[in-house]
Amino acid sequence: MTRRSALRAALNPQSLHTLEQMRLADDQVLLVHPELTPLETQHLLRQCSNPPFWPEVQEAEGSGEVWVATSGTSGQSRIVRLSWQAIETSARAVWKALGGTQGDHWLCPLPLAHVAGLAVVERCRVGEGVPRLLKHRGSGPHLLHALRDPAIQFASLVPTQLKRLVSALNGASPPPLKALLVGGAATPPELLTQARSAGLPVVCSYGLTEAGSTVAITALDDALNPQAPGGQAKLLPGFEGRIVDGELQLRGAAMFRGYLGAASRSPEEWFSTGDEAEMSGKKVRLTGRKGSSYKRGGEWIDPLEIEGILTACPDISEIAVVPEADPDLGFRTLALVVPVSLEGDIESRLNAFAAQHLARHKRPARWEFRRQLPRSPLGKLLRHQLVK
């Protein structure tokens, strides 16, 4: 009978060893984030131990699964059922696409309880390398120090970590890496240019928990080209994509088996990602998130477009754009900003930058300053927590 277990997946060798034993035993494993409070952990375990939430018992070989909570950017976190084979399939596709060789090592500064961290470990396993775990995943100096280890060839980062790494580098020679795989959220164009100009070989990626991690990456040949765009990525072998009513749908061998508590699904079924996109052959360009746009006086506003443009403003460290009710226009644009500094007349500078780069109807009507924006452990913006 398939054994069912839960693992508090901390970034340490003990967790790696336990996870490997569970994989070899073909267990069904719930990954628990180590930063969950006792109450949050109890709630998660109660949910998963309730018989209606368990999938049908499968006694055949290969019935083992990893259960991973989605990042919950919309506030509706679900538990994704991934087969061990799906995780391996995704890892092999990335390893080959990045030109991996036997024995390549990866730096893992991402939580093992998320599919991005799990994927790094699996890429090392299929390539017979060793994952170097980094507990201080938010620190630029710690990242830089770890990446200077000559044994490290690859690393997976989120854009926030890349930004801190560029700052820590501060003009010094870059570490000799084959590639830095950056994903979890869109990489701002200016940050991508800065990183590549600094000699960091950045490969942008698009992925999701339901696909076992990475689905598409930018060309490896462009990793050191500051002029190469980062917004268009090519689907990895084994994935198929199509656009239906503007939304990206995917299928392939690395796709999930379903959500815990819902009907099982086949990898051959098309899955609606919720991401708006355009496709040309195997190349995908994300254009937004389904349902995130809103109307201002009859004009459609895309928050992701505005955020992408305003991120380039030198006064802005982080930004999130949300709609705010307006009696005349229906909605107006509110920009939540983590400023680099509050010195001087910052609002005038922000308004001037917006006027130079955005059409009048796209410009924020109001600026609100924050010390930080709510993000998941992987750096994704938690939009449902922005305005309460």
- Mean pLDDT across the stretch 256-272? 91
**Residue 58 pLDDT exceeds 80:** no
N-term to C-term CA, the chain? 46
Give the per-residue pLDDT at 330: 81
Give the per-residue pLDDT at 135: 72
Full-model pTM: 0.79
* Chain centroid, CA 51 distance in Å: 31
Pairing of strands 79-83, 65-69: antiparallel
Angle (nearest 5°) at CA 266 between 264 and 270 = 110
Give phi and psi for 309, each to the nearest 5.
-75, -45
Q: Which of 233, 160, 221, 213 is nearest to 196 (CA)?
A: 221
Give the per-residue pLDDT at 76: 53
Reduce the DSSP state of residue 354 to 3 states and report it: helix
DSSP state string for 152-218: EEEEEE-HHHHHHHHHHHTTSPPP--SEEEE-SSPPPHHHHHHHHHTT--EEEEEEEGGGTEEEEE-
Res. 77 pLDDT band, cuts 50 70 90: low
Give the per-residue pLDDT at 279: 96
Q: Which of 192, 183, 248 is nearest to 222 (CA)?
A: 192
Give the per-residue pLDDT at 272: 95
- Mean pLDDT across the stretch 235-261? 95
Q: 218: burial class by Cβ within 10 Å (0-12, 13-18, 19+)?
A: buried
Q: Which two tokens stand for residue 290?
A: 């389904």
Lowest mean pLDDT among 14-23, 49-58, 327-336: 49-58
Q: What is the mean pLDDT of the chain?
A: 87
Rg (CA), the chain: 21
Angle (nearest 5°) at CA 355 between 351 and 358 = 120
Higher local confidence (pLDDT), 226 or 185: 226
DSSP state string for 116-160: HHHHHHHHHHHTT--EEE-S-TT-HHHHHHHHT-TTEEEEEE-HH
Q: Where are the domains of the chain?
A: 4-289, 294-385
Convert the pLDDT of each residue in 199-224 to its tens digit: 999 999 999 999 999 999 999 999 99
CA distances (Å), origin 178, targets 62, 88, 101: 33, 21, 11
Q: What percent of the chain has pLDDT over 70?
A: 93
Give the per-residue pLDDT at 54: 41
CA distance 25 to 31: 16
CA distance 354 to 348: 10
Instruction: Please say whether the beta carbons of 84 and 64 come within 8 A.
Output: yes
Q: Residues 6 or more apart from 51 whose CB is under 8 A from it?
A: none
Architecture label for domain 4-289: 3-Layer(aba) Sandwich (3.40)
Give the per-residue pLDDT at 383: 82
Q: Residues 6 or more apart from 312 whose CB is under 8 A from it?
A: 188, 189, 190, 357
Convert the pLDDT of each residue in 135-165 to its tens digit: 766 688 999 999 999 999 999 998 888 988 9
Q: What percent of the chain has pLDDT over 90?
A: 51
The superfamily CATH assigns to domain 294-385 is ANL, C-terminal domain (3.30.300.30)
Q: Which of 313, 103, 82 is nearest to 189 (CA)?
A: 313
DSSP state string for 45-91: HHHHHSGGGSPPP--STT--EEEEE---TTS---EEEEEHHHHHHHH
Convert the pLDDT of each residue in 96-139 to its tens digit: 999 999 999 999 998 898 899 999 999 999 988 888 888 766 68
